[in-house]
A and B are shown apart, each in its own frame.
Chain A
Amino acid sequence: SQTIHQWPATLVQPVGSPLSLECTVEGTSNPNLYWYRQAAGRGLQLLFYSVGIGQISSEVPQNLSASRPQDRQFILSSKKLLLSDSGFYLCAHRGAGENSPLHFGNGTRLTVT
């Protein structure tokens, strides 16, 4: 079965510091991978998705970036965090077929102070 790992679970970072969140998937090859963010009390906002190594689509312009250096690895980064970057960051992969549902990792709760 497919398993998705995210770390760390929680993170407290000062404004202006860099960020790197990692997500890996097991049990599948060439997965479609996604980064979502959920601000407190809000819905999920799609940030990036990737259909393969080195292929990144950005949905919302902001100070975040994503990379996919390996087939089952998806990284979310920032060079300088803003207070507004605080939120719950969720990595997801899609099951077989583009109309399949998404399955999420446990998420990283980021607080920018």
Chain B
Amino acid sequence: RKEVEQDPGPFNVPEGATVAFNCTYSNSASQSFFWYRQDCRKEPKLLMSVYSSGNEDGRFTAQLNRASQYISLLIRDSKLSDSATYLCVVNWGGFKTIFGAGTRLFVKA
């Protein structure tokens, strides 16, 4: 089983759609969780942290389910500019951070 597993997609959605990405992780001792966004040929950039209580940043909502070792990201009212690869990231603590391979999103007009 991969340490962090994501559906690679691609997800092709129209502008204004709601899209959800999921991620599972194998290490139950993982301590912190994040979603990053990576544009083509660019470095990954932090999108948001993920908490068990759920957190929202504008059109983006992230959720963590520790019991199921599952992380989600919901994007509402998709914009063309949301087209990117979304990386699920798990921090094991002790300085080790593992990245998922990413889910590609294409938002079309």
Please say whether chains A and B are actual partners in one complex.
yes
Interface residues of chain B: helix, strand, loop or mixed (majority): strand
Interface residue B11 (Cβ < 8 Å from any Cβ of A): no
> Is the pair B93, A99 in contact by a Cβ cutoff of 8 Å?
yes
Nearest-CB residue, chain A, relative to B35: A101
In the complex, A2→B95 CA distance in Å? Answer: 18
A-B pair number, CB within 8 angstroms: 53
Interface residues on A, range: 20 to 34
Shortest distance in angstroms between B1's beta carbon and chain A's nearest beta carbon?
Answer: 15
Chain A residues whose C-beta falls within 8 Å of the C-beta of B60 in the assembled complex: none
> Is the pair A107, B100 in contact by a Cβ cutoff of 8 Å?
no
Interface residues on B, range: 20 to 34
Interface pick from B13-21, B40-48, B65-73, B74-82: B40-48
Interface pick from A41-49, A66-74, A75-83: A41-49
Interface residue B27 (Cβ < 8 Å from any Cβ of A): no
> Is the pair A90, B43 in contact by a Cβ cutoff of 8 Å?
yes
Interface residue A24 (Cβ < 8 Å from any Cβ of B): no
- What are 26 A-B contacts defined by CB distance under 8 Å? A32-B95, A36-B99, A43-B87, A43-B101, A46-B98, A57-B95, A88-B41, A90-B44, A94-B95, A98-B93, A98-B94, A99-B31, A99-B91, A99-B93, A100-B32, A101-B32, A101-B34, A101-B49, A101-B91, A102-B89, A104-B45, A105-B43, A106-B42, A106-B43, A107-B43, A109-B41
